[in-house]
Amino acid sequence: MQPLRLLLVDDHSLFREGLISLLSYQDDFTVVGEAEDAESALARARALEPDIVLMDIELPGEDGITATQRLKMEMPAVTVVMLTVHDDSQTLFEAIKAGAQGYLVKNVRSRELLEQLRGLARGEAAISRRLAARILEEIHGQTELFEPEEELTEREMEVLELVVARLSNAEIAERLVVSEHTVKNHMKSILSKLHLHNRRQAAAYGVARGWLPRPKGRG
């Protein structure tokens, strides 16, 4: 299996150097490039076509979330993971809506960082465990995930992933080429199966489980 090709985007050279040092000891990763701002990140992504972009949120000039949105429009198959010192849910959901497949706080332990990155290769999302637990507690009043008594259908999973990305019922209907009434019925079923009360709780649960919209062109 070929190693995953990473592009690091952060305006702090010491942080980039630390990541490069960590990843250089891993056979399944290779750092193909670095960038310190949004414009150079986009240019290097076009030239290098990485598998994963580790993108700092706070960049000089254009922020990382806006850069992610632009990058995903040009290269939808690229996986973007946001790196941040912030662990608030609002910024996380903004990043997901922009197309990020992961959200990791910068003080994450090296072992967890590597585990999360390897999970991306299996089609999983990369969300800091501490942040996932805090979001659940903040929105749902508990810190541990529960298993639904009845599994969500494939279509319900698609709907929930788009709810996580903050799409409205009308936008989800357009994306899935179904009626808005059908989307509402799917939402009722999702909330019932997960024993949740509203979309916000459903979105929080989806984030904690790593159920984020998948990059186009990759399973």
* C-alpha distances in Å from residue 71, one per residue of 47, 67, 100, 189: 12, 6, 10, 34
Domain-located, residue 214: no
Q: Are residues 16 and 111 in the same domain?
A: yes
Q: What is the mean pLDDT of residues 124-149?
A: 70
Determine contact, residues 189/156, Cβ cutoff 8 Å. yes
Q: For residue 215, what pLDDT band results from cuts at 50, 70 and 90?
A: low
Q: Are residues 83 and 167 in the same domain?
A: no
Domain-located, residue 169: yes
Tens-digit pLDDT profile for residues 180-200 = 999 999 999 999 998 888 888
Residue 146 predicted with pLDDT over 70 = no
Boundaries of domain holding 20: 4-127
Q: Are residues 95 and 42 in the same domain?
A: yes
Q: What's residue 5's pLDDT?
A: 96
Q: Are residues 81 and 52 in the same domain?
A: yes
Q: Are residues 123 and 32 in the same domain?
A: yes
Q: What is the CATH number of the domain that holds 197?
A: 1.10.10.10
Nearest CA to 44 among 73, 65, 14, 75? 75
Q: Are residues 47 and 153 in the same domain?
A: no
> Which range has the top average pLDDT, 53-57, 91-95, 107-111?
53-57
Q: Are residues 90 and 149 in the same domain?
A: no
> Strand 79-84 to strand 52-56: parallel, antiparallel, or no bridges (unpaired)?
parallel
C-alpha gyration radius of the chain: 17
Domain-located, residue 134: no
Cα–Cα distance between 56 and 75 in angstroms, integer? 18
Q: Are residues 112 and 155 in the same domain?
A: no
Q: What is the CATH number of the domain that holds 11?
A: 3.40.50.2300
